[in-house]
A and B are shown apart, each in its own frame.
Chain A
Amino acid sequence: MDPALRPSIDEVWHWLAQVPDPEIPVISVTDLGIVRDIAWRDDTLVVTITPTYSGCPATTIINLDIEAALAEKGLDKVRLERQLSPAWTTDWISAEGREKLRDYGIAPPVDGTAADGVLIKRIDRLSGRSNLTIACPRCGSTNTEKISQFGSTPCKASYRCTECLEPFDYFKCI
């Protein structure tokens, strides 16, 4: 591509902010924090992406969607590179992304609360409580209980609100 006609890096970030996550379409791939870098290398645009989970089946679709979105803008020389480290963390989900998740009915992750080393007391476990305070995305109550640590996708857990009785997904922290 003629260097004079190249879009700026900012412009490309803006385009990718319009590419929805295939499984949670209310947030974009940039809200999710998986696009780690965008750079021109000679005449090729290199987009660096980190996977959310090793086996996430959406990864392939996300790559295709990004390539398609850039092709639509006339960029034909695009290379996607996978970066494993630093490993993706839910801390990278943008503030705006968190609000969109809540509006969509998914409780956003509580930062710094990944499973490692946070074993909960037996009495709490048996009563379905967890060591996290997760607010119900529908009524805002914090009287919620965990149904299962694995929800409809690997990145979510199933919870239930004991006030309004709404079952909901919690985007778990990793």
Chain B
Amino acid sequence: MATAAVDPAARQAALFEFLARIGDNALILGHRVSEWCGHAPALEEDIALANTALDLIGQTQLWLGLAGEVEDKGRSADDLAYLRDGYEFRNILLVERPNGDFGKTLMRQFLFDAWHYLLLKALKGSSDRRIADIAEKAFKEVSYHLDRSRDLVIRLGDGTAESHSRMQASLDELWAFTGEMFMSDALDAELAEAGIIPAPQSLKPGWDEIVAEALTEGTLKKPADGYMHRGGRRGVHTEHLGFILAEMQFLQRAYPGATW
């Protein structure tokens, strides 16, 4: 196949952008989930939430660490996490949704985990070795996240009348934030063409299957596809991100370079 010469600077910028997207998803969701620490309805769930958040923050260090390396301007994973402003974050809007109640937190986690699992599974075969290595590691951890969130969505969906109605309401609210996972732009197309990432829309059939199966088992009704919110992947966020960053970045902003 005849391929056009790849401009190294453009490829580097595209890679950085992709790494910021995947790294920021893990960072913002990890931060959201960690807000539960000490507040969950049962000790075991508190520990499970904290462990999930810990895995996600660990993965963030790997993804944003590689982003800094690719960018080659001397920025570390910490610099990227603590010193960027809202418009520079590339996470999807779903992960910055407020936690709501325990059921809503688990519904958000399940919708994300099903996608994250499929994305990492595909990235294990990335033509970029560094990305494949991180995906191999993260995939194992995320398999457990999906196993757990799926189980709880089913239990709470097919639980009491109260838990069922809350799970259905969470699903109805969050559904409009799921479309962004499968949207594609020129950058996705370029990296997918190079075999570095899967085409986002290619993950949709597998996701539909995992989600439909769990919802049916949990007696929940899948909402009709309508307008899907978008923007996070290009830095246009909801008002919620600012509050997350204010809390997360405060120390490094107020006392630059502080260590402990």
Contacts and interface: CB of A to CB of B under 8 A. Distances in A.
Interface of A: 51, 53-57, 84-89, 114-116, 119, 122, 125-126, 147-154, 158, 172, 174
Main secondary structure of the interface of A (DSSP, over half): loop
A47 B138 CA distance: 23
Nearest to B26: A54
Contact of A125 (B48, B57, B139, B151): B151
A56 B59 CA distance: 10
Given A84-B137, A147-B44, 9 more contacts: A53-B54, A84-B133, A85-B132, A114-B140, A115-B144, A119-B150, A122-B154, A152-B47, A172-B144
B47 A148 contact: yes
A150 B136 contact: no
B223 interface: no
Contact of B136 (A87, A149, A172): A87
Given A87-B136, A148-B47, A151-B47, A53 B55 contact: yes
Contacts of B51: 150, 153-154
Q: What interface size band does chain B fall in?
A: 20 to 34
Given A148-B45, A149-B147, A150-B52, A53 B141 contact: yes
B187 interface: no
A55 B143 contact: no
Interface string B118-158: 00000000000000111011111101101110110011000
Nearest to A172: B144
B62 interface: yes
B193 interface: no
Contacts of A57: 54
Contacts of A116: 139-140, 143
29 contacts: A53-B55, A53-B58, A53-B141, A54-B55, A54-B61, A55-B55, A56-B54, A84-B133, A85-B132, A85-B136, A87-B133, A87-B136, A87-B137, A114-B143, A115-B146, A115-B147, A116-B139, A116-B140, A116-B143, A119-B150, A125-B155, A148-B44, A148-B47, A149-B148, A150-B51, A152-B47, A154-B55, A158-B44, A174-B143
Contacts of A86: 136
Interface string B4-45: 000000000000000000000000000000000000000011
A135 to B, nearest CB: 21
Contacts of A125: 151, 154-155
B174 interface: no
A54 B61 CA distance: 8
A137 B217 CA distance: 34
Nearest to A86: B136
B56 interface: yes
Contact of A55 (B58, B148, B154): B58
